[in-house]
Structure formats: structure tokens, C-alpha cells
């Protein structure tokens, strides 16, 4: 079989910086560090950090002393204050673009705007933007139905901000409806360009007539990886995998060329492992996880 890689895929600059910061911290003897939540949404990276002596924790209460690592997704500003008040050191790996959105939201709010975040309420990035705010100051929306439930007459000015990992085109109708209901609504340019480039490149890859099957490589909790899979599944037979162990023999029947893309939190070495396994097919070992048989994440 042949392999064709998307023009753009894998680690974005923000994730790459976060990965390097933690590895440098570990190499300098950072044995007292703990990462609050996955530093990036990829299980292999989490395992690698654990092996380097920087484990992942779920809450600040789990660290009594030493250094807390804030992930690339960012945290609510109050987390910085809490960590400082407890005497913890902070290694901040928040993506600079995420910080830009925090600042954009603050400016809009100070200017009297009601904030609307297009995204997942449970996503750590969105929690970082909203947790410290008065719930009356914002909405988190994703669907037409949710927009219709809001009384927009209450908000003379509205600012719309997107979760960075989303494909803004998927929510164009949602935002247009907000704009029709709130005449003084404006949008902030908050889509991560690296994520958008990966998504556009995935569409081009799927449009290639020589590509018979597309594999999307990434973590189970990675929102941007899931969005890549959602884009691809409607265009070509597609499967979301974490690594070569998830490959299934029946996927490759009558397949000549396999297209590969990967989420922004997927390390280069995992992509290389998948490519190597495909090029060695059928000699390569395959996984046994039945839940991946239909290509569902």
C-alpha cells in the first residue's frame, strides 16, 4: 500500500511549545512537578510525561507543594491566584492564542458586551474562559435551538468568540442567527489558524481520487482530532485511531492508497509509527480493540 499525508497535520505551534516546556522542565530535574489535566489531549504524550516524572492530576488539591503545570488549553485566572496563595510554583504552557482570546473576551466585557462562546461547555479551554465570570455575563452555545431559547433583546451589544478547535464554517448558521436576533453582535477572530489549516488540508486529502481510505490519528479526548474525523467521515471511509495498535485488517481490503492526517496534539513519532506499520502491511501487527471496528472514536 501507499501512504499520502495531508499537506498540514499534527502538532500546532502552541502544543509543540507546551510539549517542549514540560520536557525541558523534566530534564532540569523537575521531579516536583504535576500537570493539571492533560498537558495536551493525547494519551501517548500523557504517558511520556509520566515516564519523565511529571504526572497528571485532576485538581489543584492533589498537589501539596512544588510546581503545577498549567496545560496548553489554559485555566481560569483564579487558578493562578490559588496556586500562588498556596506557595506553588507555576509552569504555564497555555497557548499564546488562547491568552489572546481571554484578553479579547475581557475587552469586550469591559466595553459592555454580552459574551457568547461557540463551543463545548465541558471543554477545558471554554472552562478557562468562563469559570470566573458571572453566569449572567455569557452564554455557551452550539445549536440553532440553543440560540432560539435566548432573549436577545436583553443584550444591546454581543461579542461572539469561538472555541479555537472548532471549524467555524460548521457554526456559520448558528452565528448568523445570533446576528439576526442581536443587531449589534460582532465576531472575534478566535479560530486557531493551525487547526483551520489541518481541517482544510483534510478536506483536500479526502477529495483526492487516489486516496481510498483516511486515517485520523489523535487522542480520545482531543476535540480538534474528533472534528477532523467528522470532516473526513462524510467524504471518505475514515477511522480515528490512537496509533498502529488500532489498525484493523478488514479496513485495507482493496485499498491502494491510505491518506493520513492527525490532530494538533498528536506527536510526530506516533504518526511515523502508523505510516511505518501501513508500509509494512500485512506484516505489521494489528490491534484488537473491537470498539474501533466501525471507525468510531
DSSP string computed for 115-128: EEEES-TTSHHHHH
Give 297's Cβ-side CA count (13 Å radius).
21
CA dihedral of 46, 52, 57, 62, whole degrees rounded to 10 = 180
Cis peptide bond prior to 228, omega within 30° of 0: no
- If you compute the radius of gyration of the chain from its CA atoms, what whole number of angstroms results? 21
Please give the grid coordinates belonging to residue 192: 486557531
User: Which residues are catalytic, by number?
Assistant: 125
Q: How many CB atoms lie within 10 A of CB 111?
A: 9
Q: How far apart are CA 278 and CA 268, in angstroms?
A: 16
In angstroms, how far is CA 229 from the centroid of its own chain?
A: 13
Q: Are 12 and 199 in contact (CB under 8 A)?
A: no
Residue that has been written with the C-alpha cell 461547555 in this structure: 121
Q: Are 105 and 161 in contact (CB under 8 A)?
A: yes
Please give the grid coordinates belonging to residue 154: 436583553
Please give the grid coordinates belonging to residue 92: 504555564
Amino acid at each position: 500500500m501507499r501512504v499520502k499525508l495531508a499537506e498540514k497535520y499534527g502538532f500546532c505551534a502552541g502544543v509543540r511549545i507546551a510539549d517542549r516546556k514540560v520536557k525541558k522542565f523534566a530534564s532540569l530535574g523537575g521531579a516536583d512537578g504535576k500537570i493539571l489535566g492533560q498537558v495536551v489531549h493525547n494519551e501517548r504524550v500523557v504517558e511520556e510525561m509520566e515516564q519523565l516524572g511529571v504526572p497528571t492530576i485532576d485538581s489543584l488539591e492533589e498537589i501539596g507543594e512544588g510546581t503545577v503545570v498549567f496545560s496548553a488549553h489554559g485555566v481560569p485566572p483564579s487558578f493562578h491566584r490559588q496556586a500562588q496563595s498556596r506557595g506553588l510554583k507555576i509552569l504555564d504552557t497555555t497557548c499564546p492564542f488562547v491568552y489572546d482570546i481571554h484578553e479579547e473576551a475581557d475587552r469586550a466585557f469591559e466595553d459592555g458586551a454580552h459574551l457568547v462562546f461557540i463551543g463545548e461547555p465541558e471543554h477545558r479551554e471554554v472552562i478557562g474562559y468562563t469559570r470566573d465570570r458571572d453566569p449572567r455575563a455569557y452564554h455557551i452555545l452550539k445549536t440553532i435551538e440553543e440560540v432560539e431559547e435566548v432573549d436577545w433583546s436583553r443584550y444591546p451589544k454581543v461579542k461572539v468568540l469561538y472555541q479555537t478547535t472548532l471549524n467555524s464554517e460548521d457554526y456559520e448558521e448558528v452565528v448568523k442567527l445570533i446576528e439576526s436576533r442581536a443587531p449589534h453582535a460582532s465576531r472575534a477572530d478566535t479560530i486557531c489558524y493551525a487547526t483551520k489549516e489541518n481541517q482544510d488540508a483534510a478536506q483536500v486529502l479526502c477529495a483526492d481520487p487516489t486516496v481510498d481510505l483516511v486515517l485520523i490519528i489523535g487522542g480520545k479526548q482531543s476535540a480538534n482530532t474528533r472534528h477532523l474525523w467528522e470532516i473526513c467521515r462524510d467524504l471518505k471511509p475514515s477511522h480515528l485511531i490512537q496509533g498502529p495498535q488500532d489498525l484493523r485488517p478488514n479496513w485495507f481490503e482493496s485499498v491502494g492508497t491510505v491518506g493520513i492526517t492527525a490532530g494538533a496534539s498528536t506527536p510526530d513519532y506516533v504518526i511515523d509509527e502508523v505510516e511505518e506499520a501501513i508500509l509494512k502491511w500485512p506484516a505489521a501487527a494489528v490491534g484488537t480493540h473491537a470498539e474501533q471496528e466501525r471507525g468510531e472514536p
